[in-house]
Structure 1
Amino acid sequence: MDVEILARIQFAFTIAFHYIYPPLSIGLGVNMVIMEGLYLKTGKPIYEQMARFFTRIFALIFGIGVATGIVMEFEFGTNWATYSKYVGDVFGSALAAEGIFAFALESGFLGVLLFGWNRVSPKVHFFSTVMVTLGSMFSAIWIVVANSWQQTPAGYHVVGTGLNARAEITDFWEMVFNPSSVERMLHVWLGAFLSGAFLVISISAYYLLKKRHVEFAKKSFTIGLVVALIASYAQLFSGHEAATVVSEYQPAKLAAMEGHFDSSAKADMYLFGYIDKKNEQTHGLAIPGGLSFLTHFDFKAPVTGLKSFKPEDRPQALNIVFQSYHIMITCGMLMIALTTVGVILLRRKKLFEKRWLMMVFAWSVFLPQIANQVGWYTAETGRQPWVVYGLLRTSDALSQAVKANQVLFSLLLFMFVYLFLFTLFVFLLNRKIQHGPGFHHDNDESEGHSPHLEEMAENFG
């Protein structure tokens, strides 16, 4: 493999692993705010115990997320020096804003959230939970703004030429509100809400299957289910808006997402299939004119196809873009179906009687994770061959000094370290789940624990 492919694989691997954790922390934070808010409103201890339990899980996720995110910043300098020089003014502003508006807010209240139980008033602790959650959401804003600028550049001019060329901001707010940032931000937030909600649902379903902490699990399941229902339906509309922006500003990406080649023909919407790149054909089960309707509200309207672009200007990994996009859609529809069935059965008071459905919900935690991952694959591989759309090609963004063997060695090292971190994460997460909330009003073998001993256990991990 050449240095470009290895550098892309390395960055894809590190960002994919890191991207497991920020959506979980954002989504879990939203659920924690609801749980703690219910405790303040009702005064019921079960909601306090719920908030304490998921705060411990939040701390684990947050810690791993911070550790895995640092590596990517170094990769910009080691593997992508030309790119770093080109976007430095833009990324520097966005990352500085993240530090000022997000990280300071998040870190300032994190200590109160984790260690403030029984040390500050319930209202102050609730406020810290809200602030940490808002901080994590603000942090996502600036990362998505920076990435969206790569997709739809705005508010800049280019100075210099060749290797010395770089983009300089001419209008900070035009850069922030570039054509795709708002739609993509909503899409990312909703994906994060789904990740956190389905984690709560999965853990609660596991307890119900094991007949442990039953009352706790029913209430936490209900909270997660309501959040997931709202977010899954909202994601459907958010995804449509995001795709509309893609159709206007990145037509080659949209054509790759549905395997559409002929610009003079209506565009079908595939349920599944594959792209025959050699013969420039797509095979599979499709809704005739479906993409034309979603784009122009006309089943016969032509849509810009891949043949409108030079071969070197098209996304090269067409099947990765196509399959990733359709896997994301499939996961989204499954989440809508699951949450809808869940709420219907909940209203009929039959949900928790369905053991088979509880097993499905226990494994459903993977659905939003898969959707988030393949959604990013679609966005990033669909942007190729550009690292900054229409301005800087990926092949021109590499560091001039880095060698293929150096990238390969660091890639293998990162794989080993990240495998260790993931194993540690799964072990600690399972340990916390097995320990349970320690709610002394439950009717199971964990009853009777002294609340003081439980508090000590929380403090010592």
Structure 2
Amino acid sequence: MIDPTLASRLQFALTTIVHIIFPVMSMGLAPFLVYLTWKSIRSEDPLWSRLRRFWTKIFAISFVVGTVTGIVLEFEFGTNFAAFATAAGELFGGPLAAEGMMAFFLEATFLGVFVFGREKVSDALYMVSAVAVAAGTWLSAVWILIANSWMQTPRGFEMAQKNGQPVVSLVDPMAAYLNPRFPWMFVHMQSAAVLSVALFMCGVAAYHLRGGLRKSDGDGDAGGDGGTPDGGELDDARFWQTTMKLGLAVLLVTAPFQVVHGDSYARHVAETQPQKFAAMEAQYETEAPAALHLVAIPTDPEAFTNPRAENLWTIDIPALASVLASGGNPDYQVTGLSEFEESPPVAIVFWSFRLMVLLGFWFVALGLWGAWRWRQGRLYDDGRLHTAMLGSSLLGIVAVETGWVVTEVGRQPWVIQGVMKTEAGVSPGLSATEALLTLASFAVVYLGLLTLYSYVVGRIIRQGPDELADEAPPDSDASADDTPDLPGEEVFVDD
């Protein structure tokens, strides 16, 4: 029979891996929707309203499914990790409660206006609703990541006794909430979400452009970067061309930023969680200089499960691990796993980290490839680029998943780093049968939700954008035929 601790960890891992997809989509789409809302209000070109409506559908579905799956995660602290919830409830419960009272209600209040109220409210109120929904989405991440980052680098607390049990007592809320890990984790996570959606948008656009949906506007210019609608009639080609350019523009900014920020983030991990950094680099012995293992393959099956098994075949770059850990010093001493009494499972952390880094560099290369074709005027004609974009459309989410594996598995065997071990946080009355039953049940339910979500979003993508009727808020006559162009505003700015 499976151990209750292992079953509970697997259940929480499964539900988190599925759940995180939906916040990534909603958080990543949020700034795009703010921009598209602003453009649809400012411009008379119906293209921007079509874009806003199409991507709002996917945002709304992601928000709903993310809310449902996220609530269950909070209940798991009581069902599977009651000892942890009891010990850390004073600190851990506060951010989760704040997330519900501040972020969720802000987002939920204005989401109805944003999704259904375009023709019922003024331009100003509608813009406010877009910003409020986006702010609520990102504010939710603030509180969730405050709680998680505190588990990585706990600060602002002291241990006390309550009913004979050791509990965490919050003594300095600012030190706890603004712990050293929080800013690193928040910036990296939000940038990853926006990058993931940028890749997704490029992939969806490539799917349609590869399908021969490009149409000539009468001047034979649909394949280039120019072109304006003929008689106000928008074709699908122009819709997807603009989608691709929006995604690519954001990809060009976020992908290099993520690589640079990730390098600095890894140095922070080396300073605050040296055992995690050692597992990320499969560094068993303390060395100066320390080589970077590009590849580390266990030669003994025991090495996959035993963190102490050092039987590895490696391909190394001398001194590079020291350079990366220190920010440039090739003689920097990297602490090895042998210095710690207990260590995380090295193979999982090492290969998850390698895959995340590899994907990060691929995203940079893909962005530069797209920029090169854009500059040449062949962004919409390069079939190989479109195939690469389509194949990469979900890789941003894969990178997020591997990043969370590094974050959470790399902390083991601690649920609160240096304070409480994971096995001590499991519900004391949980039996192996109960843990296995709930694991199987959650696997069926969550994978079913993911399948349904994928089907619905896939159907929306295949159907493409709706034809757009005139949208005019109550205090606007923007739908009138004689409305002049805004000063300096072109019908469509393709750059």
Whether TM-score is above 0.5 comes out as yes
SS at match of 1:271: strand
Could you tell me how far apart the structure 1 residues matched to 2:192 and 2:184 are?
12
Distance 1:451 1:165, change over 3 A: same
2:280 to 257, 260, 267: 257
Does structure 1 residue 283 correspond to structure 2 residue 310? no
User: Residue 308 of structure 1: CA displacement?
Assistant: 1.0
Could you tell me how far apart the structure 2 residues matched to 1:19 and 1:8 are?
16
Task: In structure 2, give the amino acid aligned to 1:431.
Answer: R
> What pairs with 1:235-254 in structure 2 (closer than 5 Å)?
235-254=258-277
Structure showing the higher helix proportion among its residues: 1
Which residue of 1 is the match for residue 198 of structure 2? Answer: 197
Does structure 1 residue 367 correspond to structure 2 residue 395? yes
Give runs of ≥4 in structure 1 deviating > 4 Å. Answer: none
> What pairs with 1:356-435 in structure 2 (closer than 5 Å)?
356-435=384-463
Which residue of 2 is the match for residue 56 of structure 1? Answer: 57
Structure 1's unaligned 5+ residue stretches are: 441-449, 453-461
Which residue of 1 is the match for residue 95 of structure 2? Answer: 94
Which residue of 2 is the match for residue 145 of structure 1? Answer: 146
User: Residue 204 of structure 1: CA displacement?
Assistant: 1.1
| Equivalent residues of 1:268, 1:290 under 8 A apart | yes
Could you tell me how far apart the structure 2 residues matched to 1:173 and 1:206 are?
47
2:291 to 268, 291, 299: 268
> What pairs with 1:155-166 in structure 2 (closer than 5 Å)?
155-160=156-161, 164-166=165-167
Could you tell me how far apart the structure 1 residues matched to 2:132 and 2:208 are?
30
TM-score, length of structure 2 as denominator length: 0.86
1:299 to 315, 327, 330: 330
> What pairs with 1:183-222 in structure 2 (closer than 5 Å)?
183-212=184-213, 213-222=236-245
SS at match of 1:285: strand
Q: Percent of counterpart pairs with the same letter? A: 35
User: Residue 283 of structure 1: CA displacement?
Assistant: 2.8
Task: In structure 1, give the amino acid aligned to 2:406.
Answer: T
| Equivalent residues of 1:261, 1:281 under 8 A apart | no
Could you tell me how far apart the structure 2 residues matched to 1:169 and 1:262 are?
37
User: Residue 275 of structure 1: CA displacement?
Assistant: 4.5
User: Residue 259 of structure 1: CA displacement?
Assistant: 0.4
Task: In structure 1, give the amino acid aligned to 2:444.
Answer: F
Could you tell me how far apart the structure 1 residues matched to 2:317 and 2:310 are?
19
Could you tell me how far apart the structure 1 residues matched to 2:438 and 2:325 are?
43
Number of corresponding residues: 440
User: Residue 363 of structure 1: CA displacement?
Assistant: 2.2
User: Residue 163 of structure 1: CA displacement?
Assistant: 7.0
Distance 1:427 1:266, change over 3 A: same
User: Residue 295 of structure 1: CA displacement?
Assistant: 1.8
1:188-216 CA distance string (max 9 Å, x none):
00111112212211211111111331100
SS at match of 1:353: coil
1:319-367 CA distance string (max 9 Å, x none):
0010111111011111111111111211221121111211221121221
User: Residue 287 of structure 1: CA displacement?
Assistant: 2.2
Could you tell me how far apart the structure 2 residues matched to 1:221 and 1:125 are?
26
RMSD of aligned residue pairs (Cα, Å): 1.7
SS at match of 2:168: strand
Could you tell me how far apart the structure 1 residues matched to 2:34 and 2:296 are?
42
Structure with max Cα Rg: 2
1:340 to 368, 388, 391: 368
| Equivalent residues of 1:260, 1:305 under 8 A apart | yes
Could you tell me how far apart the structure 1 residues matched to 2:371 and 2:73 are?
40
Which residue of 2 is the match for residue 232 of structure 1? Answer: 255
1:305-325 CA distance string (max 9 Å, x none):
111112xx211x110010111
